[in-house]
Amino acid sequence: MGPLLERAQQGMPLFGTCAGMVLLAREIEDSAQLRLGLMDVTVRRNAFGRQVESFEADLLIPVLGEQPFRGVFIRAPYVTRVGPEVEVLCWLEDKAVLVRQGKNLAAAFHPELTGDLRLHRYFLTVVAGCKD
């Protein structure tokens, strides 16, 4: 964790998905789990239930356009509190499932399990500041 934290503090962008969202969080409800604490959010681990309660849902993510993004939620967390520097990019009902703070992005779902590359492109071009 030390080298990763050091690189992030030097400006390296991070994109955490599912457990990665938990690692990026400043606080984790009811847990003393090791974390990087780089995003001013509180998360609830396994918030949607156990493995057998995993699901998929169409998500509206305005920064990606009008077409829904298929979210794959596997024992997923969600954000229960956001700090003033955190932008919620997507809600599932009343639960924040995609957040951004500066160069860091965190998703409660697994975008890598779909063929839709829009969120990865958003991270690379907008958040990380890379050019196509």
pLDDT digits (tens, 9 = 90+) for 60-119: 999 999 999 999 999 999 999 999 999 999 999 999 999 999 999 999 999 999 999 999
Give the whole-angstrom CA distance, residue 108 versus residue 21: 6
For the cut 90, the answer to whether the pLDDT of residue 53 exceeds it is no
pLDDT category of residue 132 using cuts at 50, 70 and 90: very low
pTM of this structure: 0.93
Give the domains, in start order, of the chain with CATH numbers: 14-127 (3.40.50.880)
Count CB atoms within 10 A of the CB of residue 24. Answer: 24
Q: Which residues form the catalytic set?
A: 18, 110, 112
Residue 67 burial (10 A CB sphere; 0-12, 13-18, 19+): exposed
pLDDT at 32: 81
Give the whole-angstrom CA distance, residue 63 versus residue 53: 28
